[in-house]
Structure 1
Amino acid sequence: MAESAKQHIDRIRKTKFSIGGAYNPLTEDLHQALKNLSAELYSKDVHFLMELIQNAEDNEYPEGVDPSLEFILTYEDITATEAPATLLVFNNEKGFSEKNIESICSVGRSTKNGNRKRGYIGEKGIGFKSVFLITSQPYIFSNGYQICFNETPRNRNCNLGYIVPEWVEQHPSLVDIQRIYGFGSALPTTTIILPLKSDKVKPVKEQLSNVHPEVCCFQRSRASLLENTTKIKSALLTLSGFYYMWRQKFPVKDENRVGRRSEVEEFLITLAFPFGDRLALGNSSPPGIYAFLPTEMVTNFPFIIQGDFILASSREAILLDDIWNQGILRCVPSAFVNAFTSLMKKTDAFSFLPVKESNYEELNDVRESIMERVSAEGNAPSRL
């Protein structure tokens, strides 16, 4: 007989975390290491939201399904944790498998290796743990699983939090979740429930409202925000400005191959050139480098560079000394010149030339190569 979801969780608790058995003193050390890891890697609460969007992008979806990600903020205490507000995250992915569950009950293990050929953004194996920045007790309901985790150890035999699953018998129930989502629609396959810490309600609301609209440019999944369970819907990631998007593929050279991208045959580079309303934002939201999600690197270029970059553990920056990333950056000038030639037919393309120096030496090399190539094309030597 196949193992049920609850039996699977019971087995993980018993065999992996010795719950019901002898105390393992190493669990206390692991708990402290996990606590330090989350605090160091995710220095800003916005990371939890980026991780959730990232997970939705990396998830697998049934054929013919339009990927979507929905956030609902409610002030109803459906978890009975006395939380002042609760954030519910709905995703219509295929749902959690046994391997997904075992991964989330671990550190450094990822089930996303199969996404290599198309490139992906989730590779650290610690992303979901970032939700502990804003909640003490996250819940997951998916494919028959209904579990929660706690940042504080809850069992005498296992002095470990964060990755030890607990089966949820009640609070919340599926009826509670359906009521919040609305009885008029079937629940998406996966629901994540985050009862917020009291000092995180305001920051979470602000972060939901202030997510870069540019994130939409590079994501498969749609996202929306509902608040207070009143079903007053507002777009979370609606693009308020406009971009000219240039996408181009380049073959990966042998000297740029790395183990983590060994199966990828092509770099896919996207350059996004703002126009219209987006230009009015000016320096309040400067273009930068994206690895499907925004990094914190400001290039001083008047356009966005998107690629399957390898990131630092914090995901706040790309690794400029990584040979894979260097291969992507060397292709940017060629992509720019091709885009520039096309843009000249539509707009004042010269406004997109990177005339300002970057704070990064490697990006200045990209800038200089762009200027040299545009000049060599002889499109407008008097303007350079």
Structure 2
Amino acid sequence: MDNIKDLERFKEHIQKIQRKYETAPPDFVLESLSGALEQIEKVFPRLFNFIFEFIQNAEDSEATRLRIDLSGNTIRILNNGRPFTEGDVEALCKVGRSNKAQGDYIGYLGVGFKSVFLLSDSPSVVSNGYRFRFDKTYWVNKLGDKAPWQIIPIWDDELEPPPSGWNTAFYIPVKPELIGNVQLAIRQEEFNNRIILFLKHMSTLELSDPAAMYYRRITKERLDSGAQYESYLVTDSVTDGVNQKVSSNKWVVFREQCTVPEEVRTDPVTVHWKRANITKREVSVAFRLDEKDDLTPEERGTLHMGVFSFLPLKDVESPLSFIFQADMLTLPGRSELQRDARWNKWILGQVYALITSKCIPAFLSHPVWKYSFTTVLWPGGGGHELVSHQVAEPLRRYLTEQPLYIAIDSVPIKLSDAVYVSPEWRNLFGASEVSLIYPNKKLLDPKTKYPPELNWYIIRIESIQDVVYAARQYVSKLPNDKRVAWLKKLWDHLSKFKPEDYVNLLRYSALFPDDKGNLYMPYQIFKRPKRPVDLPDEDLPPMLHQDFSELIPDSLVPELTEENARSLLSKKKLDKIKEEWPTLSEDEKVKRVRYLRDKFSKHAVQPGELGFLTLRSKSGKWLPPTELVISREYQTEMDLEQLIQDGLLDIPLEFVDPVFLSNERAEDWQEFFSSLGMVTKRSNRIGKIVQRIAVLSSLAYEKSRGWDAHELGESEVSGYDIVSKGADGTIRKIEVKGSSDIEPNFYLTSNEYQKLKNIGKEYYIYVVTDALNRPKVNVIHGPDILDIQPSVFVVFSQWKPLVKESWSYKAESKGD
């Protein structure tokens, strides 16, 4: 039983507040009410966020348990936290003020409690001997319709004290028309069990609706803790009618106290949200563990709207596969984050700092997590713009550039310094083989996982094509006496596949040894004949090592016969052509080139043997193929000669003469010329030409519309290529992206992407498609890219709808 003297003192306290409002001047009452209305409008856009508010208030009182029951038309809320003090009572009767230190709390009791008035006209409180209620009917009848009944308490001796084990009880009779909504609120989807992770004191949350046979209990059990993190088991048990569901998840939680910079505290938005006197704030990050206690992605990676930021009204989607909590500022109604608030940008920066300075070092020192954490940290797409810009984008860069991936020697390395070998090929390519092939790289530990999006940063030995390339590099560095044994292992493995899986990949690979360990292309070597072949010894080709005859299919290395021997281009004959080449007439050279192309098509000669060859250009010069560009007669889908005439290409080029064409298909010559190093549409060296055409096409477009445009030199600026000025002074800063494709994707470098964000509306991207044939300029306003793709890679289907203008040089010049 409460001490009688204490009860009298508490009762007098309530009545004193009551008299103050009854006798106060109108201005005092209106001031209190205006504060209440303003705050309620900001934080309670929906009727039933009261659950989250009472969770927060319980946490502020250091409660370990909270229970919310709906019985009939009354909600009963119990917690075992610190009982009410006089200051707490005062807070309920004023709005926007609190006896709590701002550095520790921001869940103002007076503001939060006002949420109950959206669903109840007579809530009551029992705690520490206090027994009082707020009653709309009583005060309206006594003071009229404008009575501030939400802040005038009434002492009530009839209120029941909290049950044993509980210190505070709230009784909330619900308006009859809202009972159904309250039943839904108790089951609301937003009430995710993960909320308990960010409550320091709370270990048990219970919600029940006995009439609907609904009961939910969420518990948090601390498993382990260290200097860097804490781990918990969260269990969520739900009984709904006859159905029961129990789920458990283990979590690892990292926390960090952050000092608020002066420029953040004095920002106007910060001041408006009453954060000016806050010097420290805590941010938290939580990662889920799987059944093997390894890190695993959380499907609903979200930012929890601050458990300590008024109300955690909802989860805000983010591109992350883990969850974090931060005291974010919102717009009125709390339906959207304050995008431009300096506070929000700062605190999200602290989340990123926590991940890189505390989480990642802890992961790297853990015997299991060090192999998997990068796949959990790697951000996906979408989510809130603030989270993407302040956390996801810098995190992508960090994971791409830093040494975080465990090599076979247990040392973390950059992914660009790693070589991944799939399990089926590890008996061929171990650490020693990899180090010989790639001296500056290391074999990735087989247990190490990494984000699939970073595949292009790492060398992978996974497909047969990868294996063939790596094998060529490896055996070329081995002495002859060690080649045969390793190649035997390779062919033992390849023989398990169907020949069609690898035959074409090996036609130009010197992976076929003779008895001495010398290596040959498959068309240079034969299996030993089963019957004698009538050929002079000097014309006999190399013979395959006898241990490989059964492993290598005849489709690659056939048995030597008189018939196929006659089709060979012997080394002696090739040496003769090479020796005679400088003295041959032009007609003889043309004949020899046609002859060699025919032997090439039959795999009787490889490009590396034709280094002496020169080809006639349209200007009459005989030049090495590497100094020539394929002409339109051989590749009709590329018309550089016309583009030069049109002024869209100013690079001096020599084009191969069509004199070599006879009755062959142009496509046959394309393959031959390309193998010799000539510039063709698909050669690596065409990129410089494509970009030059794209820039000149963009300049021509600007000129056609009357703008004054000039190209920037490399020393002037980086991040865009052209500056163009209209007659009205409007400026366009243009980044040009050229492609020979009609529907290309394109990349922005990190510098270009930063320029786009910094420059804003003056930044344009001109995507020039089909550049080698019929260049078309597609104009995109740069900021539009930010709305659909917050990264450096933009696919055709994303940028095509953003095109505001398009222009084709030929269409313009020919009037079509």
* TM-score normalised by L of structure 1: 0.77
Q: CA deviation at 1:330?
A: 1.6
Q: Which 5+ residue runs of structure 1 have no aligned equivalent?
A: 76-84
Aligned match of 2:198: 218
Change (3 A) 1:372 1:107: same
Distance 1:262 1:169, change over 3 A: closer
For the 8 Å contact 1:129–1:162, the answer to whether it is kept is yes
Do the aligned partners of residues 35 and 136 (structure 1) sit closer, same or farther apart at CA in structure 2, a change above 3 Å counting?
Answer: farther
User: Does 1:127 pair with 2:107?
Assistant: no
Q: Tell me the SS of whatever aligns to 1:156.
A: helix
Residue 47 (1) aligns with residue 71 (2): no
Higher mean C-alpha displacement, 247-256 vs 136-145: 247-256
Structure 1 residue 156 corresponds to structure 2 residue 142 = yes
132-141 or 41-50: bigger deviation: 41-50
Question: Which residue in the other structure is 2:524 paired with?
Answer: none
Unaligned 5+ segments in structure 2 are 220-234, 237-246, 267-274, 406-414, 417-449, 455-816
Does the 8 Å CA contact 2:288/2:297 hold for their aligned counterparts? Answer: no
Bigger drift between 88-97 and 300-309 goes to 300-309
Equivalent residue, structure 2, for 1:80: none
Worse-matched range after superposition: 95-104 or 40-49: 40-49
In 2, the alpha carbon distance for the partners of 1:108 and 1:355 equals 39
- Using the TM superposition, give the Cα deviation of residue 197 of structure 1 relative to its aligned residue in structure 2, in angstroms: 1.6
Deviation at 1:371, TM superposition (A): 1.1
Residues 365 and 215 (structure 1 numbering): CA distance in 2 closer, same or farther, change over 3 Å? closer
Displacement of 1:365 in angstroms is: 3.5
Question: What residue is the counterpart of 1:14 in the other structure?
Answer: 19
For residues 217 and 136 of structure 2, what CA distance do their matches in structure 1 show?
Answer: 32
Whole-angstrom CA distance in 1 between matches of 2:87 and 2:394: 46
Q: Does 1:331 align with 2:346?
A: no
CA gap of 1:104–1:352, structure 2 versus 1, over 3 A, is: same
Q: What amino acid does structure 1 have at the position aligned with 2:252?
A: M
Taking structure 1 as reference, are residues 322 and 197 closer, same or farther at Cα in structure 2, changes over 3 Å only? same
Does structure 1 retain, via aligned residues, the 8 Å contact 2:36–2:96?
Answer: no
Quote the residue 2:760 is aligned against: none
Contact 2:297 2:322 in 1 (8 A): no
Residues in 1 aligned to 2:346 and 2:141: alpha-carbon distance in whole angstroms: 49
- How far, CA to CA, are the matches of 2:79 and 2:286 in structure 1? 27
Aligned length: 351
SS for the counterpart of 1:147 is strand
2:57 counterpart of 1:93 = no
Residues 42, 130 of structure 1: 8 Å contact kept: yes
* Cross-structure match for 2:166: 188
Alignment partners' CA distance in 1, 2:27 and 2:355: 56
* Cα distance in 1, alignment partners of residues 184 and 344 from structure 2: 32
TM (norm. structure 2) is 0.39
For residue 96 of structure 2, what is the aligned residue in structure 1?
Answer: 108
Cα separation, partners in 2 of 1:150 and 1:15, compared to 1, 3 Å: same
Matched, 1:4 2:29: no
Please name the residue that 2:285 is paired with. Answer: 271
Task: Tell me which of 68, 74, 94 is aligned to 2:71.
Answer: 74
1:280: Cα distance to partner? 10
How far off its partner does 1:311 sit?
4.8
More displaced 10-residue stretch of structure 1: 125-134 or 346-355: 346-355
Per the alignment, residue 235 of structure 1 pairs with 217
Q: Identify which of 129, 141, 147 aligns with 1:144.
A: 129
Give the % identical residues. 22
Query: Which residue identity lines up with residue 228 of structure 1 in the other structure?
Result: P
Find the counterpart in structure 2 of residue 209 from structure 1. 187
Superposed CA deviations along residues 276-327 of structure 1, whole A, max 9, x for unmatched, are: 5998984xx5522442236442222222121244455645555443434332
TM-superposition CA deviations, 1:127-151 (whole Å, max 9, x none) = 1000112212100011211111134
Q: Helix, strand or coil for the counterpart of 2:194? A: helix
User: What are the superposed Cα offsets for residues 54-98 of structure 1, whole Å, 9 maximum, x if unpaired?
Assistant: 111111x5xxxx6211122212xxxxxxxxx21111111221111
Q: Does 1:352 align with 2:377?
A: yes
Work out whether residues 208 and 215 of structure 2, in 8 Å CA contact, stay in contact via their aligned partners in 1.
Answer: yes
* Cα offset, 1:366, TM superposition: 2.2
SS at match of 2:13: helix
Alignment of 1:303-318 (within 5 A): 303-312=322-331, 314-318=333-337
Question: AA paired with 2:402?
Answer: E
Q: Residues 31 and 202 from structure 1, CA distance in 2 versus in 1: closer, same or farther, beyond 3 angstroms?
A: same
Bigger Rg, structure 1 or 2: 2
Name the stretch that deviates more: 34-43 or 299-308: 34-43
2-structure distance, mates of 1:33, 1:6: 26
2:411 alignment counterpart: none
Q: Secondary structure at the match of 1:354?
A: coil
RMSD: 3.7
Give the superposition deviation at 1:105: 0.8
- Indicate conservation of the 8 Å contact 2:91/2:98, yes or no: yes
* Secondary structure of 1:215 counterpart: helix
